[in-house]
Structure 1
Amino acid sequence: MKVFGVTGWKNAGKTGLVERLVTEITARGFSVSTVKHAHHSFDVDQPGRDSHRHREAGAQEVMLSSGARWALMHELRGAEELSLGDLLARLSPVDLVLIEGFKREGHPKIEAWRAETGHPLIAPGDATIRALAADTPPETDRPVFDLNDTAAIADFILSEVEL
């Protein structure tokens, strides 16, 4: 599987960019999966639902299945967070995995950046960032794409991963 990331500070447009990239790249006939890193405790389950009750009772894993989808929730219960490599190993094979977040991992990335947030660029100190997707062109030695030019960004990513 080919892997490419979208990174950046909070409110830089990462999630919207990943969403548009998935739509664009799958429309071109490629299979795509995503991995999103959350920096806080999150829950995909809802209190009161059977699956939530199973987890609260102490189940290590809870699998839900229907005719439309299946989902597996795994509780770490104090164990260390899995590495990106371990997470990728659990995915079914696809042409491309888009990774949102995971700033410190060594995979190639594009940085989403919005001037209005006031955050500095990550790219100057990170060689894994191959290009920027920005609302205003910043000073950089990397290629810069308009944050909303999804087709051009997709072209760049697919070229980088040789798809």
Structure 2
Amino acid sequence: MVMDIQRSAKELQIPFNLQMTGPPASSFDNMAVLRALKTFLPREAFSQVIRELYVARFGNPTLPDDVFIYLTPMHIPQDMLDKAKSAAQAEEFKLAFEKEHADLVDNHGVFGVPWIIMQKPGESQLEYFWGSERMSSIAHWLGPNYEYSSKLEIKV
């Protein structure tokens, strides 16, 4: 999303400066903690945690080193959060999470990984697009005069 906003702002010559400090909210480590919380919490409680993190993250211009500081004991008890953080560091959990992540990427086209990296003809800068719903963004970025040049055969 940030890449899309930056790209659009650049095209429209609009100043854009989103200061992002600390690790990205969607870092592998944070996702591992959330996956562990999903295991430990009832469904509705976990949904509430996600809602609170989303509101806190997108309501603040900067991200702290630990995105979970946005959660209060009302959202999730500290001992439960500590348990999830600890579980996310266990080797067995890391391996299972990595396997689950690879399966989602390889077999289901999961959103959230560098889906496609592109370079406009004649330019050196690379652009990164996440997720299949970005096809319209890619088409817009390439422009109406872009000619398809893949060596792969396309059957229509």
Q: Which has the larger radius of gyration?
A: 2
TM over 0.5: no
TM-score normalised over the length of structure 1:
0.22
TM-score, with normalisation over the residues of structure 2?
0.23
Q: Which has the higher helix share?
A: 2
Return the structure number with greater relative CO, CA threshold 8 A, min gap 6. Answer: 1
